[in-house]
Chains A and B, each alone.
Chain A
Amino acid sequence: MPKLIIDDIPVEVPPGTSVLEAARSVGITIPHFCYHPALAIAAACRLCAVKLLDGPVKGIQMSCSLPAQDGMVVSTQDPEALKLRALVIEWLMMNHPHDCPVCDEGGECLLQDFTIAGGHGRRRYQGKKRTFMNQYLGEGISHEMNRCIECYRCVRFYQDYAGGTDFGVTGSAGRVYFGRFEEGPLESPFSGNLVDICPTGVFTDKTGRFRARYWDYEFAPSVCQHCSVGCNTSPQNFQREVIKIVARRNDQVNGWFICDRGRFDKGSLNDPQRPRDPMVDGTVCSFDEAIEAAARRIFEFVREHGAGSLAFVGSPRMSLEGGILLAELARLTGGSQLCYFTDQSNQEGSLAAARLLNEQNAACLRDLESATCIVILSCDLMEEGAMLALSVRKAFLAGAQIFVVGAVAATSHQEIPFKYTAVASLDDVPPNGGSGKIFICGSGNRDPELLAQVASSGAKLVMLQPGPNGLGVGLLALERKTTSLSELAAAGKVKGIVCFEADVPQSTLGGIPVLVCADWRNGETVRNGTVFLPTTPWLESDGTAINYEGRAQRFRSTKRPGLPLKGLDPKYYGSAQEASRLHPPRVHRQEVPGGAEQDVWRVMAGLIERLGGEQIVDPLLGKWGRLKDLDPEGEGVRVLDWAKT
């Protein structure tokens, strides 16, 4: 373990640590642009200069590419180092346009910060700046090459890390250009990370440009709920609208990055058509009235048809809190049916994962990256857990063999960022591997026997789920031995259903009436419900989700629920009773337009109370109480070794 001294502070770091990281470990930030912990070292920007006063090397050195060694005495504040850094900044700023006021990066720009920090405030260079033509890079990312400072972060991420081939660096010397061969949408499903990784405004998020500055945003730690990987995100909201979603670091789940779906797919969240008003028989009412009506109808249904013919239906996109209270609801009505899955094969796949996985055999990200053999089994990886593809790529680059069983991979629209051997069946995969072997099964593969066979081989497992909290509700379903709605319906056991964030297709529903529906998405079930209770999507909820590897993660509500201010229907300018004819509105209202929604578990808690149950303050009942203090900014907690007892 090398021991060195940085700014008079003794530091001991593992061998191979750079001086930059060693300094960071004791709270000293050395300015840098091109260095990124997830990427290979480029030493291109020359900003992280420090002076070595004593030890094996002396003088000005680049701290990002200098491994810490015994006996080094490093000064980050030496006048010579400070001077060099100030000159580097001035030099990087030579061609940079002074367009911060109209740049979407302004306020969250590393170049801006370090220019100010470096004391460069007055331009000395009087010559012409070099300029470039920008390219159209698709609907996600806007390109402004004039702002580039040639740190090479984008190309190192795009080609080296994410395996893209259609974006790179051309030219040399003063003509270095980062772009495509010809204009067109970026092909990599991870291209959105260019926005996060660019230290200045070359790549900005086209879906949320020019809406607000960094300091305007409402922020909170969130967890992406598009698939069961559970990447950590930081949604940036402004005036009740999700403007941008950026990656949040979690080394155990997603590292530094997220996929484009997680970043750009936010239309449904901002959708003005999203059902936001509580309704009874198609008429808008207050939330209390709707809850009252829902409780009354459930009560009357149970009295008439018996508790057994009523089904409470949840789904894998529901939070753990919702899942727990759904069981309470079913219990409270005197033994109603409880369904966490609409589809039987979804249920089988999820239950098999809940049964088979344990703390030892559930592969996490680190396991994937260090695997020697990865078998992808009936799984459209880019669709069901795109971020895992980057980990598989890491293993591939380190020499792991990758097999894809079956033809399912071909259905993906996205190119897979690693080379693999396609085989027809599991028998064609060489039986060796042992501890370094990992199977990735999609939620599409519902054959529990095959899953059991794979699990018994001693290899580690990744079992992707049909929804973001698939394993969470899978564990609940396993514990309560639930049946899927499709099976119950087919057996004719159900005469009425109560849906919570569940998408029940008309074919399953048949003629069964939906008494109550609670959801935030606009679906068929919503239109079928006689009582509708609007819930909040994950961005507006406090909750917990358990990802594919059994890691419970807490997400916080990142914004108040309600209709986005932009494009707000003028009917809201007036009071609830009377529309305003004139602008500006002169009527005061206390409620947020469209802001009646509640977290799904709160809706359930309300129903439970109306149905005569206890008031529920904390939905994490029983053993799940362990998760009460789960830190949303932590790495999450793996639950498999105690959640099944």
Chain B
Amino acid sequence: MIPEALKTSLETRVAEAITPREAAVDVMKELQAHYGWLTDEAVVEAAGLLGLSPLQVEELATFYEMIYRRPVGRKVIHVCDSISCWCADCQGIITHLKERLGVGLGGTSADGMFTLIPCCCMGMCGDGPAMSVDGTPYGRLTPELVDEILELERQKA
């Protein structure tokens, strides 16, 4: 169940859209922020708000990599494995991240702080290899820099 205030604000957002479907991403992101991830319950609630079927929300939710349909840690690391970063040895960075966090791709560290997810290009091809942590982009990564960033993000939390 979402709070009445959130529901009202989302209803306003949907009403402002020319077609309800175009508000779908906003609604899903808000619900995700509320629940921590987009739960099954949230999908059904989003469908109700948007006038779509739960399946139609699911179609959109599973398409976008920043909508999480499974529980995630407090901060999500999106590490790029697309072609430019691959040329800049993102594999080394990904291996390093896996070792540091003690997880595989898609996993959440034991302390519940980070979830590691690969992503396909963040538009930082000039600064590869790149990743984002909780929405903050980081480029020209080296294993040492990754360690610093993880520490910094841990402290910020």
Contact = CB atoms under 8 A, between A and B. Distances in A.
A226 interface: no
A165 B62 contact: no
B59 A168 contact: yes
B52 A170 contact: no
A171 B63 CA distance: 5
A350 B136 CA distance: 72
A65 B62 CA distance: 27
A619 to B, nearest CB: 51
A274 interface: no
B55 A181 contact: yes
Contact of B58 (A170, A172, A173, A175): A170
B53 A181 contact: yes
A332 to B, nearest CB: 60
Contact of A172 (B43, B56, B62): B62
Nearest to A179: B55
A396 interface: no
B107 interface: no
Nearest to B120: A173
Interface string A132-173: 000000000000000000000000000000000111111111
Contacts of A169: 59
Interface string B56-75: 10110111010000000000
Interface string B118-139: 0010000000000000000000
A213 interface: no
B62 A171 contact: yes
Interface residues of B, number: 14
Nearest to B69: A170
A211 interface: no
A159 to B, nearest CB: 8
Contacts of A182: 40, 54
Contacts of B62: 170-172, 175, 177
A377 to B, nearest CB: 28
Contact of A181 (B43, B63, B65, B120): B43
A177 B63 CA distance: 11
Contacts of A170: 55, 58-59, 61-63
Nearest to B65: A172
Contacts of B58: 168, 170, 181
Contacts of A172: 62-63, 65
B85 to A, nearest CB: 16
A180 interface: yes
A165 B53 contact: yes
A166 B63 CA distance: 17
Contacts, number: 34
Contacts of B53: 165-166, 181
Most B C-beta atoms less than 10 A away, residue of A165, A166, A170, A182:
A170
Contacts of B63: 170-172
A169 B60 CA distance: 9
Contacts of B43: 181
A171 B120 CA distance: 14
Nearest to B61: A170
Nearest to B60: A170
A154 to B, nearest CB: 13
A439 to B, nearest CB: 30
Interface string B24-45: 0000000000000000100100
Contacts of A177: 62
B19 to A, nearest CB: 14
B77 to A, nearest CB: 19
A170 B64 CA distance: 10
A31 B26 CA distance: 41
Nearest to A171: B62
A136 B30 CA distance: 32
A171 B67 CA distance: 11
A72 to B, nearest CB: 34
Contacts of B61: 170
B67 to A, nearest CB: 11
Nearest to B57: A181
A284 to B, nearest CB: 53
Contacts of A173: 120
A171 B61 CA distance: 8
Contacts of B55: 165-168, 170, 180-181
B78 to A, nearest CB: 15
A397 to B, nearest CB: 15
A172 B119 CA distance: 12
Nearest to A177: B62
A180 B63 CA distance: 15
A106 B152 CA distance: 58
Nearest to A175: B62
A175 B59 CA distance: 12
A176 to B, nearest CB: 9
Interface in A72-99: none
B59 A165 contact: no
Interface in A212-264: none
A240 to B, nearest CB: 40
Contacts of B52: 165
Contacts of A175: 62
A506 to B, nearest CB: 45
Interface string A519-531: 0000000000000
A178 to B, nearest CB: 10
A172 to B, nearest CB: 5
Nearest to B47: A181
A181 B43 CA distance: 9
A135 to B, nearest CB: 11
Interface string B87-124: 00000000000000000000000000000000010000
Nearest to B62: A170
Interface in A396-452: none
A173 B58 CA distance: 15
Interface in A162-215: 165-173, 175, 177, 180-182
A133 to B, nearest CB: 14
A171 B93 CA distance: 26
A165 B54 CA distance: 9
Given A170-B59, A170-B61, 4 more contacts: A165-B52, A165-B53, A175-B62, A181-B58
11 contacts: A165-B53, A166-B55, A167-B55, A168-B55, A168-B56, A170-B55, A170-B61, A170-B62, A170-B63, A171-B63, A182-B40
The 6 closest A-B pairs by CB, nearest first: A165-B53, A181-B55, A170-B62, A181-B54, A171-B62, A168-B59
